[in-house]
Chain A
Amino acid sequence: MNPVEKKLNNDFYIESPLPPKRTRMQEFRRLFGQNRLAILGLFIFILFFCCAVTGLFLTSGSRPIFDPAMVRLQEKLRPPLAKPNLDSLQPQEVPVLGVYLMGTDDLGRDVFARMLQGAWVSLTVGFVAVGISVLIGIFMGGIAGYFGQHHIRTDHVLLTLALILGTGLVIANFTFIGTVILLLCLAYIFYSLSARHGSTKKETPALKAMLHSNAVSVDTLIMRIVDIMLCFPSFFLILTVVALLPASIYNIMIVIGLTSWMGTTRFVRAEFLSLREQDFVAAAKALGLSNFRIIFRHIMPNAIAPVLVSATIGIASAILTEAGLSFLGFGVPPPHATWGNILSNGKNFIFDAPWLTFIPGIAILIVVLSFNLFGEGLRDIMNPKLRERH
């Protein structure tokens, strides 16, 4: 018996002194600390977040502290930091701070209160829209990357198309044809289910062989859908959809989310393609884990870094898109203030009251810039190859 074995059998182990070690989090903090611009971005983001949350509380309710909807026609187009004319105002119309911090607009509404209200809209639009797009992106990308080699049978593709066609026809009031198509689909589903149980027949007719042949791989299907979605000029797609749907902030979030998941899908798929071949995935399979668990618990945390980065930058672009929509008048309906529609109102008075354009414009600029800086900082930290350059 050799010494090593003897050592093992006697469970003879000394608790060795441990060298100081950096955890991943400490390493992350150190690198992040070196990136001043990213810190600036994070700082502005936190400030913005606090503004938006306090803004929500200060501007909502039946008697808000800052009332964004209070109209004072006699006080219209006052410049920033102007004192209110106390003689002409009811006591409840006097702004809380005793001064119009950012001036008033053409209806005499306090721009500061409106900006506060708009901050919450921008924040929620950014996060919800990106949340939707990231969820869809991760799901589609994960499926395409992990199950990409699997094939979909021709009859399943045809069946799905027929179901969509049938439902579409029913919705479009061609009830008879639509119902017939849907019933045919149902009949086929029952037929194939029963055929599987009683599969005693040996010969396969040409038609059945054709229907059961592999039409397209999962990867091809999903990535071509992504390509098709990317072909649309997305801003105009959003304009069209928003024009059809009732104007509401939630519709805008959902539409922005549904038209911006393609980038995430591509990222996630690319990461999955390389991670799928890693040994730790094979090891996880050998431990008897299910595919679901391997995808979401083992591969996803490894693939999440580029997604986070693109999500951060995606928030900026979602805020920008919402501002653009509101500017064009398709966004959040009027009584509610958003940075985009303050800007849009202000453009009529750009020479008389330039602050109405500049204040929301600069606010959008700063927030979007801070998100981009933070996102790029994250990317530099998480990507060791880019890290070398600093």
Chain B
Amino acid sequence: MIDGRTTNDRPLLCVENLKVYFQSNGARAHAVDGISFEVREKETVCIVGESGCGKTVSALSILGLIPTPPGEIVDGQIIFSGQNLINLDEKTMQKIRGNHISMVFQEPLTSLNPVFTIGDQIGEAVRTHRHIDTETLYRYCVQLLNDVGIPSPKQRLNDYPHQLSGGQRQRVMIAMALACDPDLIIADEPTTALDVTVQAQILALFRSIQKKRSMSVLYISHDLGVVSAIADRIYVMYAGIIVEQGNTDQIFRAARHPYTQGLLASLPSLSKRGKRLYSIPGSVPNPAYRPEGCPFHPRCRHRILSCQKEYPGMCDYGEGHLGRCPVLFETGVCSK
């Protein structure tokens, strides 16, 4: 949308009322508490939020990778190309992982197996889902490494992960994620562990890949700067709940929810030079002991009495911009 990308309206992935709870020491942690979002074809969707707000858990539950003795998907649906992923058995899920949905993890330093060469690992990613002979596989691996911008790909194929830098390793991870031409890539804070220049390169890589291969990206981050550079639409998450959603312009120019406003205000920028940087007071509530009513109200500047008691649903501000806040609900800004 920003640079003229066309988005199809058909949702590729549709998560409805997903609830993931974790059992820990007798308490029940509501890591994800009824979130709904959708990713349309050829679209980049970002989920933003502080650490511990349930971003990674929602990503992992899409792939069915929640460790199931402590964790449990209590409720909800994850519809991916017409299939509900929650009902699928392990064998069918294995065919979807890496093949239709793939994932890029946060830590490129530890996400590659230290005892195998890059070539082995990319090759394995391909061969898990495709039958392909050795010669073609080799050429395909070189092609993949070239696509993700690794210099001298032929030599790099024989390297071990420890011989590459963090940025190169993340490129290798992206190459592995691209290996089977998935419809959706879930990127879980792929640039957090990298320095800023490499971050910019990786983001550019994501954008060019998406443009070339026309796939959808679900990008999870806590960095609003990164998000503004890449997102078509943004979901802001807080304490396991989506508090605001909208396209990039709506979120960055006209944020409605006090939490989103707080996040934006705490971004450093040149115009704020010399002033004290704003920070939202307090911290994210313990997911096992969430406050009554609106989960954000203890930290909110605009809170009113009803915030402690009830928590209304999403209010519609038009053009797909939705927010979930009792104050805005009371003041009658919203139509629903």
Contacts and interface: CB of A to CB of B under 8 A. Distances in A.
Interface of A: 2, 4-5, 7-9, 11, 13-16, 18, 21, 23-24, 149, 278-280, 282-290, 297-298, 301-302
Given A13-B152, A288-B128, 17 more contacts: A5-B207, A16-B151, A149-B67, A280-B114, A283-B112, A283-B176, A284-B113, A285-B63, A285-B65, A286-B102, A287-B102, A287-B128, A287-B176, A288-B93, A288-B96, A288-B129, A301-B115
Contacts of B99: 288
A287 to B, nearest CB: 4
Interface string B119-145: 000001100110000000000000000
A280 B155 contact: no
Contacts of B152: 13, 15-16, 18
Interface stretch (B24-32, B197-205, B250-258): B197-205
A14 B98 CA distance: 30
A149 B69 CA distance: 7
Interface residues of B, number: 43
A280 B112 contact: yes
B128 A15 contact: no
A118 to B, nearest CB: 38
Find the residue from A8, A18, A280, A283 having the highest chain B CB count within 10 A. A283
B63 A286 contact: yes
Nearest to A217: B69
A278 B106 CA distance: 12
Contacts of A302: 113-115
Contacts of A23: 160
A282 B128 contact: no
Nearest to B101: A286
Which 6 A-B residue pairs are closest in the complex by CB-CB distance? A288-B97, A288-B98, A287-B98, A286-B103, A279-B110, A279-B111
B65 A286 contact: yes
A15 B151 contact: yes
Given A2-B204, A288-B129, A279 B176 contact: no
B208 A5 contact: yes
Nearest to B116: A301
A185 B155 CA distance: 60
A286 B190 CA distance: 15
A287 B155 CA distance: 24
B82 to A, nearest CB: 19
B298 interface: no
B10 interface: no
Contacts of A288: 93-99, 128-129
Nearest to A2: B204
B217 interface: no
B7 interface: no
B113 A298 contact: yes
B155 A18 contact: yes
B173 interface: yes
A283 B103 contact: yes
B319 to A, nearest CB: 28
A286 B61 CA distance: 11
Contacts of B111: 279-280, 282-283
18 contacts: A2-B200, A4-B200, A4-B204, A15-B152, A24-B160, A149-B67, A278-B110, A279-B110, A280-B111, A280-B114, A286-B97, A286-B98, A287-B98, A288-B93, A289-B94, A289-B124, A290-B94, A297-B124
Contacts of B125: 287
B149 A13 contact: yes
A138 B93 CA distance: 28
Given A16-B151, A285-B65, A301-B115, A8 B205 contact: yes
Given A9-B208, A290-B94, A279 B105 contact: yes
B16 interface: no
Contacts of A149: 67, 69
Contact of A8 (B65, B67, B97, B208): B208
Interface in B170-223: 173, 176, 200-201, 204-205, 207-208
B163 interface: yes
B113 A13 contact: no
Contacts of A24: 160
Nearest to A300: B115
Contacts of A286: 63, 65, 97-98, 102-103, 105
B151 A14 contact: yes
B50 interface: no
B59 to A, nearest CB: 10
B128 A4 contact: no
Contacts of A280: 110-114
B104 to A, nearest CB: 9
B107 interface: yes
A273 to B, nearest CB: 14
Interface string B16-50: 00000000000000000000000000000000000
Contacts of B155: 18
A125 to B, nearest CB: 31
Contacts of B69: 149
Nearest to B145: A13
